[in-house]
Amino acid sequence: MKSENASERVRFLVMHFTTIDFETSLRVLTQPSSRPVSSHYLIPESSDPTYPHKDLRVYQLVDEYRRAWHAGRSSWEDRSQLNDHSIGIEIVNKSECHPPPESTPEAEADAVCFFPEFDAAQIDLVIALSKDILARYPDITPTRVIGHGDIIPQYKIDPGPKFPWQQLADAGIGAWYDDAIVKRHLDYLNGNTTSDRDTVRRRFAMWLQDYGYGIDPETATDDEITLYARAFQYHFRPWQVDGEVDNQSRAIMLALLEKYFPDKLSGYGEFGGEAIAIKSP
């Protein structure tokens, strides 16, 4: 007799970049080591001399019903340890960052980073694979297609600013905002922002939490707010990643909340309610 008291194990789809070539990635993700890692899937890129085939192929490394070790001490929405709840896709891309000496996670903004473009054929595979996964796991809603840097920004930034999140959203994978809604919120914010810096930043932290980010707006330090703002910008404003809570970042965040969590906007009375919660006629 089938019980109705159950839910899907898989709730999130997490994107990564490898920072290393295909051959090394395959070894790291499949062989024992002192710090073992894995993912459910690995996707190579066309120009990699270590890749042995002419055509690109999706490599499945861990069965989806099993727990791959790709997400670490992560959090999103009301869940932590996302290895228990997610499918991970590693994408070969040799992005790299060189932090300053004696750096801390909060000082990562001072790192020198190089982000090569993702291979177009590779992204086609990511889209095809993701569509297949989403068709089988209905609990993976648009805001639950996320990057490694979204769920653990203290240590990770992948898949980085060159990952084409908007292209994936246009294909029906993940979340993205509507430009016209961003403009409406930006016009309002530009004419009505009177709060002090700390209030603006802490309110932005509340919006981040409402969207899914694992930040506590009441206890977060200023450095933590910067860290999570940067993670948000890597995903949704990759052309300017600075951790500043400016009006454009706030407008993008509000447009996302309006699109995916409109019921939460009613709590933002400091904007006069209708200016945010109700779309322009």
Per-domain residue ranges of the chain: 12-170, 179-277
**Active-site residue, selected from the candidate residues 45, 77, 90, 224:** 90
**Is 90 an active-site residue?**
yes
Fold of 12-170: Lysozyme-like (3.40.80)
For the cut 90, the answer to whether the pLDDT of residue 46 exceeds it is yes
- From the list 247, 148, 145, 147, the residue with the least C-alpha distance to 203 is 247
Span 234-252, average pLDDT: 97
pLDDT at 264: 87
pLDDT at 100: 76
- Phi/psi of residue 238, each to 5°? -70, -15
pLDDT at 152: 97
**pLDDT tens-digit readout, 86-117:** 999 999 999 988 877 765 555 555 678 899 99
Q: Report CA torsion sign: 16, 21, 26, 31.
A: negative
Q: Are 245 and 235 in contact (CB under 8 A)?
A: no
Span 43-50, average pLDDT: 96
Query: Domain 179-277 maps to which CATH number in 3.40.50.300, 3.40.50.720, 3.90.660.10, 1.10.101.10?
Result: 1.10.101.10
For the cut 90, the answer to whether the pLDDT of residue 6 exceeds it is no
For the cut 50, the answer to whether the pLDDT of residue 51 exceeds it is yes
179-277 matches 12-170 in CATH topology = no
Span 167-196, average pLDDT: 92
Q: Give residue 207's pLDDT band: very low, low, confident or very high (50, 70, 90).
A: very high
Span 124-147, average pLDDT: 98
**Burial of 43 by CB count in 10 Å (0-12 exposed, 13-18 middle, 19+ buried)?**
buried
For the cut 60, the answer to whether the pLDDT of residue 275 exceeds it is no
How many other C-beta atoms are found inside a 10 Å radius of the C-beta of residue 87?
Answer: 24
| pTM score, whole prediction | 0.92
**Burial of 229 by CB count in 10 Å (0-12 exposed, 13-18 middle, 19+ buried)?**
buried
Alpha helical stretches, state H, 92-194: 120-136, 148-151, 165-170, 179-192
